[in-house]
Amino acid sequence: MNPRAVYYEGNHTFRLGPGEEVAPGPGDVRLDVAFCGVCGTDVHIAHGAMDHRVQVPQVIGHEMSGTVAELGDGVEGFSVGEAVVVRPLDSRGETSADRGFSHISRNLKFLGIDTPGAFQQSWTVPAFTLHRLPQGIDLQLAALTEPLAVACHDVRRAGLTAGETVIVLGGGPIGLLISLVARHDAASVLIGEINPERIAFAQSLGFDAGPAPEVGDGADVVFEVSGAPAAALAMTELAAVRGRIVLVAIYPEPPPVRLFDFFWKELELRGARVYEPEDYERAIELVASGALPLERLITKVEPLERLPAVFEELARGTQGVKILVDCGA
Ligand SMILES: [Zn+2]
């Protein structure tokens, strides 16, 4: 049977079509994709917000798990049938100006946005993007590795230590994953969120969540994940003296920020973008350990052929945390 793929065709439209088994060139690996999660970024693409980066028709998707199907010349350390995830960053255009920070290098290509992605049965990628999964790992949960690695990176950027207080502004998928990792690291976590369904879900995971989170003397760390200008305004007030604010959200327009608070409380603002290899390794460890209730975050699993309809439903604002697509491999 020929592999299948779902193509973004621009203009909010996706189409199921024939895929391709792209023979792996030197240094590449062809994967059988097991599951691929739908990310907020994919929804942005569906809205047409990233048409300048996506060459239509194009397969998108980057939150995947799968197995090695075929090795290109010169690939070592992996064998056919092994379970893997892809860290979807290609920094081969890195220059000395990037100062060794490959994951945020200026010519970075993001697999599944700038190049074809994983909403297909067969996906060929550079071997350097692969991370091996432990034997027997649940491939549905393993598809959460990519967003969990984002959370691990954000928590690492915060320099979080046990016993600290944390406020996470935004209770969507990334906000929840940051909260789970921070709680696992023995921080006490509050979630700021205004959507009643998201508040109820965060509470069902045991978090204190609501529209007005507050820690008596301020939080040691505030994660701004919501992208709401009101949160950018609140984040400095919510932070304790010498508190750290980690900016995870993407602000296309500059929001008002109380710079005075940075002066008055000696606050620190840290950016956090994607992940580094060690964040992936930690995320894989966390998935494999079963320490986090990740299965609760999977709202539903849909077959690949339903993906065009799933994007239509998401455009109408269907709620939930994470939709996984069974890519059928
Ligand atoms: Zn993602």
> Would you state the pLDDT for residue 37?
98
> Would you state the pLDDT for residue 329?
63
> Would you state the pLDDT for residue 1?
63
> Would you state the pLDDT for residue 317?
81
Decide if 129 contacts 149 (C-beta within 8 A): no
Q: Which residues pair with 58 in a beta bridge?
A: 8
- CA 241 to ligand 1 center in whole angstroms: 33
Domain identity same for 134 and 226: no
Percent of the chain whose pLDDT exceeds 90: 92
Given pLDDT bands bounded at 50, 70 and 90, which one contains residue 303?
A: very high
- CA 257 to ligand 1 center in whole angstroms: 27
Q: Which of 12, 13, 44, 129 is catalytic?
A: 44
- CA 303 to ligand 1 center in whole angstroms: 19
Domain identity same for 297 and 320: yes
Helix/strand/coil for 264: helix
Give the residue-averaged pLDDT of 293-316: 95
131 given a catalytic annotation: no
How many angstroms separate the CA atoms of 319 and 102, rounded? 35
Domain identity same for 152 and 222: yes
- CA 61 to ligand 1 center in whole angstroms: 8
Alpha helices (H) along 108-195: 139-142, 145-158, 173-184
Q: Is the pLDDT of residue 217 over 90?
A: yes
- CA 145 to ligand 1 center in whole angstroms: 10
Of the listed ranges 15-29, 84-98, 288-302, 313-327, the one predicted with least confidence? 313-327
* Tokens found for residue 143: 């598809």
Domain identity same for 28 and 74: yes
Give the residue-averaged pLDDT of 159-188: 98
> Would you state the pLDDT for residue 235?
98
Q: Which residue range is the domain that position 69 belongs to?
A: 4-143+293-326
41 given a catalytic annotation: yes
Domain identity same for 171 and 267: yes
